[in-house]
Amino acid sequence: MISEEVLLEKIKVLPPNLKQKAIDYVESLQKKAVPSQKRKSYKGALAHLNIKFNEQDLREARNEMWRGYTKDTENEK
């Protein structure tokens, strides 16, 4: 018997709730076995826009966006 057949025979005798657990476990193993795709760099994603920015530009934009949303100012609003 090949391993797939052995697995199928063992799953067939399980009660329904344990069959679902077995399926969930196999799905989790599949996710671990497939290498995750690397995220593309934001620079590569925006390259077609010909926008030139650096880490300092991003930091300034982030600070500007979050200005006024600190814990100290939440109670004042």
Residues 46 and 64 in one domain: yes
Residue 77 domain-assigned?
A: no
Q: Which residues of the chain have pLDDT under 50?
A: none
Q: What is the pLDDT of residue 43?
A: 65
Residue 12 domain-assigned?
A: yes
Q: Which domain holds residue 48?
A: 42-70
Residue 76 domain-assigned?
A: no
| Chain-centroid distance, C-alpha 42 | 17
Give the three-class secondary structure for 55: helix
What's the rounded Cα separation, in Å, for the pair 12 and 9?
Answer: 5
What's the rounded Cα separation, in Å, for the pair 75 and 77?
Answer: 6
- The set of residues, in sequence order, having a beta carbon less than 8 Å from that of 1 and lying 6+ positions away, is 9
What's the rounded Cα separation, in Å, for the pair 41 and 46?
Answer: 9
- The domain total for the chain is 2
Q: What is the pLDDT of residue 70?
A: 66
Position 37, amino acid: Q
Q: What is the pLDDT of residue 23?
A: 93
